[in-house]
Structure 1
Amino acid sequence: MQKRNFLKRSLAAVGAASLLPWNVSAAPKKGKSIIDGQFVHMVFFWLKPETNVNDFIASTEGFLKKVKEVRKYHLGTPAGTPREVVDNSYTVSLVVTFESKADQDRYQEHEAHVAYVEANKDKWDTVKIFDSWGAL
Structure 2
Amino acid sequence: MKKLATIVFLALSFTTYAQSNKDMKSFDSNFAHTVYFWLANPDSTADCEAFETSLQKFLDNSAYAKTKFIGKPPKASRDVVDGSFTYSLIVTFESAEAQQNYQDEAPHKLFIAESSKLWTKVIVYDSKGIN
Same fold (TM over 0.5): yes
- The runs of at least 4 aligned residues of structure 1 exceeding 2 Å deviation read 34-37
In structure 1, stretches of 5+ residues that fail to align are 1-13, 15-33
Tell me if structure 2 keeps the 8 A contact 1:45–1:127.
yes
For normalisation by structure 2, the TM-score amounts to 0.73
Structure 2: give runs of 5+ residues left out of the alignment. Answer: 4-25
- Per the alignment, residue 116 of structure 2 pairs with 121
Aligned to 1:69: 64
Flag the 1:70–1:37 CA change in 2: closer, same or farther, 3 A.
farther
Deviation at 1:37, TM superposition (A): 4.0
Residues 29-84 of structure 1, C-alpha deviations (whole Å, 9 max, x = no match): xxxxx932410000000001146223311210111111111111100100112211
Which residue of structure 2 lines up, in the alignment, with residue 55 of structure 1?
50
Q: What is the TM-score normalised by the length of structure 1? A: 0.71
The structure with the largest alpha-carbon Rg is: 1
Q: Quick one: percent identity of the two aligned structures?
A: 34
Residue 27 of structure 2 contacts residue 66 of structure 2 at CA under 8 Å; is this kept in 1? no
- Whichever residue aligns with residue 79 of structure 2, its letter is E
How many positions carry a matched residue from both structures?
104
RMSD: 1.8
Aligned to 2:35: 43
